[in-house]
Chains A and B, each alone.
Chain A
Amino acid sequence: MTRDSRPVTQDTVEQTFRTDSRRVLATLIRLLGDFDLAEEAMQEAFSAAVERWPQEGVPRNPRAWLISTGRFKAIDLLRRRARFNASLQPLADQLGDGITQPEEIEEEGVQDDRLRLIFTCCHPALPPDAQVALTLREVCGLTTEEIARAFLAPAPTLAQRIVRAKAKIKVAKIPYQVPARTDLPERLASVLQVIYLVFNEGYSASSGASLTRHDLSAEAIRLGRLLGELLPEPEAMGLLALMLLHESRRETRTSPDGELVLLDEQDRTRWNRELIDEGVALVERSMRCRQFGPFTLQAAIAAIHAEAASAETTDWAEIVGLYDVLLRADPSPVVELNRAAAVAMRDGPAAGLTLIDGILARGDLQDYQLAHAARAELCRRLGQTSDSVASYRRALSLTLQEPQRRFIEKRLSELAKS
């Protein structure tokens, strides 16, 4: 094997670990048919790299070297275990047969392995919270402790979730494959849901003092980019666009002292133009495919906001139109609420209030904080002070986030003065 002569340090191995460890793992899971064995084999392969690369030089194709080494390490592990359990011997022999040299490990299969890993971690037969935990652990390479911190959950709970999910993959025999074309819409929806959940958890923490947890959003965008690259389906592009457009406003969503700033009061000159341009281009690409769905439509709405110079000059008629299409594609009371807010901007607060009261009367969003906050805001604009105060109080009783509490309390004290 030819080796190049660049100086080898610990850094090269660490660098390779950062860029390639997930790809190596994804392929080892396919070759070995077992998540835990693949994880162990990958760790041993990197340990071997730390020992051998400084003396032997960095291999020409480091990733293929790691995969091949990992496979040999797995066979060793199985043979050692076979001393105690004879039933593992055939498996070890089978893995040893037809073993490939590093040069023979092809790139195309390796690309597919990452998609296989994503679809397996997000299999709808796994509980949603386990899909999220497993994806962050296996696809993103976060440690169990990091995931636990991000979701404000105890580490043992997270660890157990992951162990159970891996056990189900093995026992129920969830296959390691990219779904067939006919299953793709349902299976892709499950993957997109996981990515969006991770993003939202980072973008708007559901409880606690901080409004945003940047790492999770960044991780979700990384996942979205990876998926878009591996599988450029319209809705995958739509989701990535939606996340980028939300992300472009991150800096302006809170004031320097941590207060919540609503969309119409944000400093639009500080929105991230680069992210907006990328997001808008993705929305346009997805809409051209004509097979777009709810994520693309939400991204299209976000794009109109992103390109408007102010709340007043926003094309509210276009936004209401997009919400109409979205309601047909994916009916939900939350979408109805957002549409009502857009109608209030297009036709005035009274029109929006009628719609919100209709939704609340059906009882759908009685415990949804944002429905009461939106109602309070429209009543305030109409000068209906006592109704506004009542709705803000109801919203306050439902909110767990510190910045949102402070925002509502500020509005309440302003109303008390008026």
Chain B
Amino acid sequence: MKYLCLIYENEKSWESMPQSDAEGIMNEYFAFTEDIRKSGKYVAGEALQPTPTATTVRVRNGKISTTDGPFVETKEQLGGFYLIDAKDLNDAIQVAARIPSARLGGIEVRPVVDFSAEASKREESAGAKA
């Protein structure tokens, strides 16, 4: 079962951090990524540029409107993610707890929708109606 681990932390804390600390955390990230690759739980993962580089796009009445910044302002910002394949939620929690930023901010663990299962549910309701 796939879970998306969204990494939230205060991006300002990275700015004020001594470089040696930041390097230490980055090394932890490399080691962690390597480790979950080996365990077969890694599906994908990326780090994001900070929110001042973000753009929010909306389309209303067919017109594109573009604004700067993230969709919602929060104390902690989305800074990156891992998509993992875990046995169940407890397993996913164990993986998320090892993401270095779990100690600095928080990791939101979200189950990913399985569209093949969703499709068979739709067939079911269609069949029930027929």
Contacts and interface: CB of A to CB of B under 8 A. Distances in A.
A380 to B, nearest CB: 44
Interface in A367-386: none
Contacts of B93: 125
A403 to B, nearest CB: 42
Interface in B57-92: 87-91
Interface stretch (B16-24, B28-36, B121-129): B121-129
Nearest to B86: A173
Interface residues of A, number: 15
B111 A87 contact: no
A172 B113 CA distance: 10
A120 to B, nearest CB: 10
B125 to A, nearest CB: 8
Residue of B1, B90, B93, B120 ringed by the most chain A CB atoms within 10 A: B90
A175 B88 contact: yes
Contacts, number: 38
A416 interface: no
Contacts of A86: 120, 123, 127
Contact of B90 (A88, A171, A179): A179
A346 B102 CA distance: 45
A172 B114 CA distance: 11
A104 to B, nearest CB: 27
A99 interface: no
Contacts of B1: 173
A195 to B, nearest CB: 21
Interface in A140-188: 171-175, 177, 179, 183
Contacts of A172: 89, 111
A85 B90 contact: no
Contact of A183 (B90, B121, B124): B90
Nearest to B120: A87
Contacts of A85: 120-121, 123-124, 127-128
A87 B128 CA distance: 13
Contacts of A171: 111
Interface residues of B, number: 14
A175 B127 contact: no
A123 B128 CA distance: 34
Residue of A172, A175, A179 ringed by the most chain B CB atoms within 10 A: A172
Contacts of A88: 124
B66 to A, nearest CB: 34
Nearest to A180: B90
Nearest to B87: A175
Interface in B87-111: 87-91, 93, 111
B102 to A, nearest CB: 14
Interface string A54-93: 0000000000000000000000000000001111100000
Interface in B8-58: none
A171 B93 CA distance: 15
Nearest to A169: B89
Nearest to A177: B90
Contacts of A173: 1, 88-89, 111
A59 B49 CA distance: 67
B88 A87 contact: no
A117 to B, nearest CB: 15
A148 B28 CA distance: 48
B124 A84 contact: yes
Contacts of B121: 85, 87
Residue of A86, A87, A174 ringed by the most chain B CB atoms within 10 A: A87
B109 to A, nearest CB: 8
B90 A174 contact: yes
Nearest to A88: B124
Contacts of B111: 171-173
A87 B125 CA distance: 12
Given A171-B111, A173-B111, A84 B128 contact: yes
B89 A125 contact: yes
A173 B88 CA distance: 5
Residue of A84, A171, A177 ringed by the most chain B CB atoms within 10 A: A84
Contacts of A179: 90
Contacts of B89: 123, 125, 172-175
Contacts of B90: 174-175, 177, 179, 183
A171 B109 CA distance: 12
Interface of B: 1, 87-91, 93, 111, 120-121, 123-124, 127-128
- Closest A-B pairs by Cβ, 6 of them: A85-B124, A87-B120, A175-B88, A173-B88, A84-B127, A84-B128
Given A172-B89, A173-B1, A174-B90, 17 more contacts: A85-B124, A85-B127, A86-B120, A86-B123, A87-B120, A87-B121, A87-B123, A87-B124, A88-B124, A123-B89, A125-B89, A125-B93, A171-B111, A173-B88, A174-B88, A175-B87, A175-B90
15 contacts: A84-B127, A85-B121, A85-B123, A85-B124, A86-B123, A86-B127, A123-B89, A125-B89, A173-B1, A173-B88, A173-B111, A174-B89, A175-B87, A175-B88, A179-B90
